[in-house]
Amino acid sequence: MAKYNAGCQHVHVTIDAEPIDNHECHCNVCKTVTGQHTTHVAFFNYADVKVDHPEKIKRVPFNKDNPNGPLEICLCTECNAVLMLDDKQKRIRVGVPNIMGYGDGFPKATYHAFWDESKGYAKPSDGRPVHAGLRPDFAWPTSAA
């Protein structure tokens, strides 16, 4: 049985590994896409995320202002459920637990990413580290292609 499950009744997303990065995102793209003040985002190594029906996935750009960027939102072609973010460079796949249905057992974000004073709200003070980008020790994995 998979460690983490998401998806919809038509496309199942399963993961047997822990996230390689797990943060509360403050970036403007996540705010625009999700409509949330902050978004819990988990990166997984590309090969660790399995999809049982890739033929039922519709892809749309993650960042409308950079439609040729590396990330795509994957949606079910039958019910339009948000399944994951997929990296065209095949380095990572991304889960957003509260949107993609990972449930209560998913690990909490370990830090805040992409926070800056121009956001117009107070710096997070929940005890987790706060960074202007991804955590300083994060290294992008190599492509799985």
**In the chain, where are the structural domains located?**
4-119
Q: How far apart are the first and last CA of the chain?
A: 26
Strands 49-51 and 111-113: unpaired
100: tokens are 């993609």
pTM of the model: 0.94
pLDDT in tens, 2-43: 899 999 999 999 999 999 999 999 999 999 999 999 999 999
How far apart CA 67 and CA 39 sit, in angstroms, is: 21
* Nearest-10 Cα torsion for 52, 8, 22, 145: 30
Asked whether 112 and 14 are in contact (CB, 8 A), the reply is no
Q: Which CATH architecture has domain 4-119?
A: Alpha-Beta Complex (3.90)
